[in-house]
Structure 1
């Protein structure tokens, strides 16, 4: 719900702004909420090890900086419905990454589901070909 509202707000009011500044303010807002939640619910104990460092590097560099910057570029340059439809690929891509990196097994139902989601996203984001007839609009 928050991402949908933020995407609509950005497309309508801030689509021409600086992407780095917009990303910074999104993280300031998100971090503010998470700091309050962590102070209220967490133990404040951190064990620094290789897994934590790898996870933090992945979360910061790939997901936070890379993915959000890419999302903002897509919002700026495209239709929101097409950008939003790409979110349906997240579970499939995550499952494939888990299969590659961690040896997770994929069953037939999961593979068929990924294929259906991928086909749906492809249909939703496809550009019309030049051979398709355009609909005539009624004049006013």
Structure 2
């Protein structure tokens, strides 16, 4: 096996291990978030929630209350926004708005200009590489060749 192949295989194995570790950690965090009443064990990740500022003058509808022996706390504004923006319909509308933005004439012109510049740059590079290859293929005459031997 060549050195390049060994490096490639080891890089691929390292990438797979990193992806598995990321998936396991994401799953552990999600599990911890779903069960906030459990006390984290020493080997688990402990999530620390930021304390929400205490507001003493809440309307009666937003104040925490006890119903049938359970504490009911209304969701925070951040939780409401996260839930609303996480819905598939909202995500689809955000996606379609982005596509519509990309298809506007101004955006199209900007994208086409960028593509045109990139195409020209690559073409210049190809031509320069071709010229260099042609010069390398035909060795030039030496400086003393005109004197004759």
Whichever structure has more helix as a proportion of its residues is 1
TM-score tier by shorter-chain length is: under 0.3
Q: Give the greater-gyration-radius structure (CA).
A: 2
Greater fraction of residues in strand: 2
Larger relative contact order (C-alpha < 8 A, sep ≥ 6)?
A: 1
**TM-score of the two chains, using structure 2 as the length reference:** 0.24
